[in-house]
Amino acid sequence: MTYAYFATCPKAIEPILADELSALGATDTKLAPGGVFFSGELEVGYKACLWSRVANRILLLVEEANVASAEELYKAVMAVDWQQHMRASQTFVVDYAGRMRGIDNTHFGALKVKDAVVDQFRQQGLERPSIAKQDPDMRINVFVNKGRARISIDLSGDSLHKRGYRQDGGVAPLKENLAAALLVRAGWSAIAANNKPLIDPMCGSGTFLIEAALMATDTAPGLLRWRFGLQTWVQHDRELWQGIWDEAEARREKGEAAFKGEIHGYDAMPKAISMCRDNLKQSGLEKFIRVSHRELQELKPLTHKSDIEPGLMITNPPYGARLSEVADIQYLYQHLGEKVSQLFQGWQLAVFTGNPELGKAVGLRSHKQYSFFNGAIKSQLLLFDISANNQFHDRRQASGEIPLAELSEGAQMFANRIKKNTKQLKGWLKQQKISCYRLNDADMPEYAVAVDVYDDWLHVQEYAPPAKVDPERAAKRLQEVMLALPQATGIPAQRTVLKQRKQQSGKKQYETHDQKGEFFEVREGGCRLLVNLTDYLDTGLFLDHRPVRMRIQKLAQGKRFLNLFCYTASATVHAINGGAKNSLSVDMSATYQSWARKNFALNGYSEWLHKLEQADCMEFLRHHKGQYDLIFLDPPTFSNSKRMLGIMDVQRDHVWMIKQAMGLLAPGGTLIFSTNYRKFELDDKVWQFNDVQDITSKTLDRDFARNKKIHYCFEIKPRV
């Protein structure tokens, strides 16, 4: 009997999968986005499950129908005799994809299919089969496209890329079937057949090594798995499956005996080597693969045998997709190119990267480039012949960067916007003596980044894109930003720090990042302040509050100053610089109290007159007794810190906070209240009982003029 199948796979691997299926006996192969249609007897489907190195799933078609509504989909599923495929006592799960009228999300589509299956069993007076999201007996796959529904059962069970050997994948592991596809494109099968070696100089958890060994020893990747979906299918042919399995075992035994090649892996991280060894042990391939802890600079040819011929070097270096390391990583690629050019003549080099621009830093001419996707990241496999005619050449310009002319149209467009902003702000910055400012405030919808300048450093914040934005496109645009900025600003990439900024709440705004402890000094309004661009989401200096700090400095002469939620006390430094008689700065964070002390010391201020207090500001307001002439109240939007009693919400609690703070004001005193909550509305009670002046527009400098809701600021005095 001939069946209709569909094999799914990662994007761009479809041609490799089609060749693989044809070799297994499939007929009528037809490529489609994300997979291959094919026909064949049951044996072909079984072999595809056991032998496919690049497929994700093997789906056996059981029904195909035109559907124009959710009800018609329900009827199409009901038309299948499910007792031919599963028992009432078995568990199942539904994988649904596609959209149609009446079904706007995959969850509802899966629910409709599930209802049809369950209702059919109930109508026949049978027990209702149960749903099991983990290890179900049957996976039902439904795909709807252009009014046509394909209903299939999944012979694979779990995704076929999960071979069963991976215990830990490391920082950024390749999926097993992607690694296998890359090896196919790199020509490893022919190289291995001639018993030539393979080296991965940055092997991580060893995916390339293990997939290469499986191919070299003619081992079916499915032999490492303990379960397939076909084994619990009602029509499962156990005798046929056992015969295919036994044949695969025999081929493995023969292949292992025949392979005499060398497979070596190295990595600079001891933890990666430890994970790799665990994975090798699980795969049963330890005797075919050698791994060791070795820096890239220690990379050398295999010399323990005099007759070893040149083979394949394949690797997946880091590419800084979402890190500020693009400039540093260029030198890693350069070092790799230099090493192989000097020491590996005659070898083939395959470099897989999610940033093709970095591939240029290898400094060698690639004779083939294949496009792939690593998850959502569009990537390339670059193939190089290492020969006397292809010597390393540093393709970067004198500054160490890839010339902008070689970058994409998008990078050029973003660079032009940065240059335009620089020109527009130049005169104002010089006149105001400002060296720390916002250069780009997500000016272009396509490039959702804020770019801040801190003297000769750049601080780039990537705002998390909306769910509707394609992750691949967002990652590509971020790469363009990081490659364009050095060219547009003249600030080298080594002085650019990138962070992803999501909506923060509570203590998350204080979460640590790299913990490098690297502070450097900037100046503002005659004050010396320390910033840290790496350790936290924020830098220690809120640039949008620059006018507020300058206002405090002008008002502070001879005043007793109180700074609540003081952060790094930069506003206090301005107040002291403006002649404050004394001050008290309160914050709950020991980290920021320490930072404030550094700021005080840098400016020569002692804590004798200008005190710091680590405390919950809400409790401070509840119990503190004292009088101040000038108070700055700048609470976070939300806080649920364990060090607080309860939860602080600025919209809910600001009336109480302002009332308590006003109780600490001396006659004629002033409270400056500020918040960065974009939807903030000052409660009518505050207006009713105080003299309030909305000074928001006066506290927005030119570099933040684009966003009128970056913060709100009010000057509040007791009503006479």
Cβ neighbour number for residue 14 with a 10 Å cutoff: 21
Q: Express each pLDDT in 205-228 by its tens digit.
A: 999 999 999 999 999 999 999 899
Q: Express each pLDDT in 96-124 by its tens digit.
A: 998 888 888 889 999 999 999 999 999 99
Model confidence band, residue 172 (pLDDT cutoffs 50, 70, 90) = low
Domains of the chain: 3-154 (3.30.2130.30), 176-219+258-404 (3.40.50.150), 405-502 (3.30.750.80), 529-718 (3.40.50.150)
| 495 phi, psi to nearest 5 deg | -110, 30
Question: Looking at residue 92, what DSSP letter applies?
Answer: E
Task: Supply the DSSP string of 336-377, one letter for each residue.
Answer: HHHHHHHH-TT-EEEEEES-HHHHGGG-S-EEEEEEEEETTE
Computed over every residue of the chain, the mean pLDDT equals 89
Q: Express each pLDDT in 648-677 by its tens digit.
A: 899 999 999 999 999 999 999 999 999 999
Q: Express each pLDDT in 593-642 by its tens digit.
A: 999 999 998 888 888 889 999 999 999 999 999 999 999 999 999 887 65
Least-confidence region, from 10-24, 173-187, 314-328, 648-662:
314-328
Amino acid in the structure at residue 60: L
Q: Decide: 488 and 449 in contact? Cβ < 8 Å.
A: no
Which among 73, 72, 46 is positioned nearest to 60, based on CA atoms?
Answer: 46
Residue 397: what pLDDT? Answer: 47
Q: Express each pLDDT in 377-397 by its tens digit.
A: 889 999 999 998 888 776 554
The percent of residues above 70 in pLDDT, for the chain, comes to 91
Residue 66: what pLDDT? Answer: 95
Residue 638: what pLDDT? Answer: 86
Task: Show the beta-strand stretches assigned E in 175-276.
Answer: 198-200, 263-267
Q: Could you tell me which residues come within 8 angstroms of residue 490 by beta carbon, excluding any fewer than 6 positions away?
A: none
Inform me whether the pLDDT recorded for 502 exceeds 60: no
Model confidence band, residue 304 (pLDDT cutoffs 50, 70, 90) = low
Residue 505: what pLDDT? Answer: 41
Q: Decide: 478 and 448 in contact? Cβ < 8 Å.
A: no
Inform me whether the pLDDT recorded for 512 exceeds 70: no
Question: Looking at residue 103, what DSSP letter applies?
Answer: B
Q: Decide: 522 and 455 in contact? Cβ < 8 Å.
A: yes
Residue 399: what pLDDT? Answer: 47
Q: Express each pLDDT in 150-160 by its tens digit.
A: 999 999 999 99
Inform me whether the pLDDT recorded for 475 exceeds 90: no
Give the mean pLDDT of 314-330: 65
Inform me whether the pLDDT recorded for 282 exceeds 60: yes
Residue 608: what pLDDT? Answer: 84
First and final C-alpha spacing in the chain:
95
Write the burial class of residue 622 (CB in 10 Å: 0-12 exposed, 13-18 middle, 19+ buried).
Answer: exposed
Which among 441, 672, 458, 452 is positioned nearest to 550, based on CA atoms?
Answer: 672
Residue 75: what pLDDT? Answer: 95
Give the mean pLDDT of 559-588: 97
Q: Decide: 230 and 139 in contact? Cβ < 8 Å.
A: no
Q: Express each pLDDT in 62-98 by its tens digit.
A: 999 999 999 999 999 999 999 999 999 999 999 999 8
Residue 473: what pLDDT? Answer: 73
Inform me whether the pLDDT recorded for 404 exceeds 80: no
Residue 305: what pLDDT? Answer: 62
Give the mean pLDDT of 48-54: 97
- Residue 405: half-sphere exposure toward Cβ, Cα within 13 Å: 3
Which residue bears the tokens 């910033």? 531
Which among 510, 538, 544, 494 is positioned nearest to 524, based on CA atoms?
Answer: 544
Q: Please name the helix (run of DSSP H) or strand (run of DSSP E) that holds residue 501, with its range, or none.
A: strand 496-501
- Strand 496-501 to 520-524 pairing: unpaired
How far apart CA 220 and CA 228 sit, in angstroms, is 14
SS (H, E, C) 627-651: CEEEEEECCCCEECCCCCCCCEEHH
How far apart CA 656 and CA 619 sit, in angstroms, is 12
Residue 321: what pLDDT? Answer: 43
Give the mean pLDDT of 128-144: 94
Inform me whether the pLDDT recorded for 480 exceeds 70: yes
Least-confidence region, from 356-360, 467-471, 556-560:
467-471
- Residue 128: half-sphere exposure toward Cβ, Cα within 13 Å: 9
Model confidence band, residue 509 (pLDDT cutoffs 50, 70, 90) = very low
Which residue bears the tokens 């090896």? 183
Residue 465: what pLDDT? Answer: 64
Inform me whether the pLDDT recorded for 558 exceeds 90: yes
Give the mean pLDDT of 704-713: 90
